[in-house]
Amino acid sequence: MAAQIGASAAAARAHEELYAYWARLRHGAQLPGRSDIRPEDFKRLLPTVSLIDVRRDPMEFRLRLAGTGLYGVYGREITGRTLGEVYNSAASDYWRHELTKLVQDRRPAVGAHSLAWRGAAHLSILWLRLPLASNGKDVDMILGYDAVVGVQGDSVISGIRAA
């Protein structure tokens, strides 16, 4: 149990690190854009970082980039896929709702999502999604970070890798 709490705390610290980075890039009320992001600034987090393209009319989300660590979470390459191509219908609906709200509110979002849909009820993703806007206003991309936490056998999974 203590190891589980430690893994969750490490995930929260990683979220705080990426959120602080994103917040420093803001220009007053203006959101940062993809061109402001420098992956080398958060190199240790890259394995579970994602970039999600936002398309409107109708609202659609496509994973432009998914870190190599996410392959292990999903069991396959998810880069270039839409939500419906990655998730079952319930999980796809969950993500569509969360991401649409982020786009509309223009605010970061954080949460936890069980991997039970993938047959791994013992694992969850602690996720962070940060809005990006090339014009500073209209969200056209989302920067994501996922930390996998849970217990697998006798070992605790954290999704966090040492620098």
Per-residue pLDDT, 154: 40
The Cα 148–Cα 163 span in angstroms is 17
Between 111 and 154, residue with greater pLDDT: 111
CATH code for the structural domain at 2-157: 3.30.450.20
Length of the chain: 163
Q: Hey, where are the domains in the chain?
A: 2-157
Cβ contact 36:140 at 8 Å? no
- Give tens-digit pLDDT for 104-116: 999 999 998 887 7
Q: pTM for the whole thing?
A: 0.85
